[in-house]
Structure 1
Amino acid sequence: MQIADIMRTNVIKVRAEAPVGHVLIWYGGMAHIFRNTYVVDHCDRLLGVVTIHMLLSVIVPPPIIEEAKAGRLDGREELLDALRHNMAAISDTSVGSLMDADYPFAHPEDLFVMASELIVTKGITALPVIDPNGVLVGEISRRMILHFLVQNL
């Protein structure tokens, strides 16, 4: 069974220069949560990946976490104000500056067990799927693989 038989083709693609603030607004308006944002060039060639983990680490940075743990951000509004201030400071940051350009990937003709192995060994939730020219054609996630296995075993 090939990855092409299981993968989805509906993914979030942005250009490297897209501001983080715009991507987060996009996420806020979605009914389905995507775990990865794929950074592509004008030909849809994959340049890198921004995961939800990466976005969270930028939105809720360690200094704010430390301030909250130390009790210096007292109450909900004070914490939200600190997060809003941080959000204003990072909203124009380019997605390209956050992306992982060495993120693992798969090809549509690869066996799905190869994707499963990468997902497990790298500890990631999903893999971008690219064609021989590097064009992003979809993604395969651990959930898709598990669903396939449950349905077919």
Structure 2
Amino acid sequence: MLISDIMRTTLIKVRPEAPIGNVLIWYGGMSHVFRNTYVVDHCDRLLGVVTIHTLLSIIVPPSVTSLAGDLSGREELLVVLRRNIATISDTPVGDLMDSDYPFAHPEDLFIMASELIVEKGITALPVIDPNGVLVGEITRRMILHFLVQNL
């Protein structure tokens, strides 16, 4: 079974100059589960990846976690978190992207993607064509779903 048989093609794609605040707004309004924001050029070639993990680590850094016990309640914590979001809101996505993120190709076997996902401890892999154009993504859940349905 090839990655192209399992992958999804609906993705979050942005240009490197897009502000992080826009990405956060999109995440807040989505009903589907997306774990990665893919940064692409004008031809949809993959430049890098911003994961939810990266976004969370910026919004809720260890300094906030250590302050949590000193905050007087929910509202005070939300004020601190809103301030963190406001601080990064105008930051270009390209400043936060991982440009060395692993990827797969549509014609690869899905087990190769599974091995890479497990080895790297990530939730999803971008799938690019021979020209570097982002054509989809394959996730742990997609692979597990396929295995459970077919074994």
Q: How do residues 51-130 of structure 1 correspond to structure 2 at under 5 angstroms?
A: 51-68=51-68, 71-130=69-128
Identity of aligned residues (%): 81
**Over aligned residues, Cα RMSD in angstroms?**
0.8
Give structure 1 stretches of 5+ with no counterpart.
none
Matched, 1:150 2:148: yes
Q: Secondary structure at the match of 2:13?
A: strand
**One-letter amino acid of the counterpart of residue 108, structure 1:** P
Residue equivalent to 1:14: 14
- The whole-number CA distance in structure 2 between the counterparts of 1:61 and 1:126 is 23
Q: CA deviation at 1:59?
A: 1.0
Give structure 2 stretches of 5+ with no counterpart.
none
Aligned length: 151
Give structure 1 regions of 4+ aligned residues with deviation exceeding 3 angstroms. none
Q: C-alpha deviations, 1:38-68, integer Å up to 9, x for none?
A: 0000000000001100000111122212211
Q: CA deviation at 1:23?
A: 0.3
Q: TM-score, normalised by structure 1?
A: 0.96
**One-letter amino acid of the counterpart of residue 51, structure 2:** T
Q: C-alpha deviations, 1:80-127, integer Å up to 9, x for none?
A: 111111111110011111111010000000000100000011010000
